[in-house]
Amino acid sequence: MIKENNDLALKNRFRGYFPVVIDIETAGFNAKTDALLEICAVTLRMDNHGNLRFSSTTHYHIQPFKSANIEPLALEFNGIHDPFSPLRGAITEMEALRKIYKIIRKEQKLADCKRTIIVAHNAAFDLSFIIEASKRCNLKRIPFHPFTTFDTATLSGLAYGQTILAQACKASGIEFDNKKAHSALYDSQKTAELFCKIVNKWKNLGGWPILPK
């Protein structure tokens, strides 16, 4: 029984990587110049049957950094009409990232994983903003792998023939409310649900665990 549970441990599923689902909302597409306005991180765990499940969710609204560029079209898209409104309850990039990184490191250690890897829809975009924000805040210990990611746009294209998050969720049988979309909290939870469904489906089809010959 101990051997079986160890084989199904999260640390053995992704080569020692600890997957964390990330979604961000921004004030544009340029990670170096445009404001990071919202972030949500969903950590994952493996149950006793080797199925991937939600573990924790951490969500923050973020204040635009000093001299940040803000594109009106981006705000229209994500519905953040006034990034400077005190009603947002926003905190600084440094506060948000430090709190998220602390949670990630704690759960990564508990899972006995070696490094964290970002799971996101079009993951290169999210990773680029997080790296640039970490540089601005002079945060040296970034838990995420610097270039390797799990991109659910690619995975859902393979699994369901869809690359748009809403369409991929619908194709997989996951409910998706377009009125709630483009919120980091909602999109990260749907991305996490999609990722778990793809990973668990692959296991149920016999693709994992890989048994020794």
Known catalytic residues are 182
Strands 36-46, 52-61: parallel, antiparallel or unpaired by DSSP? antiparallel
Q: How many CB atoms are located within 10 Å of the residue 162 CB?
A: 17
| Residue 86 Cα to chain centre, angstroms | 26
Tell me how far apart the alpha carbons of residues 38 and 92 are, in angstroms, rounded to a whole number. Answer: 10
Residue matched to tokens 């010959």: 213
Residue matched to tokens 């997080």: 130
Which amino acid, 53? Answer: R
Handedness of CA 149, 47, 162, 21 (dihedral sign): negative
Yes or no: say if 59 and 84 are a contact pair by the CB < 8 Å rule.
no
| Cβ burial, residue 55 (10 Å; 0-12/13-18/19+) | middle
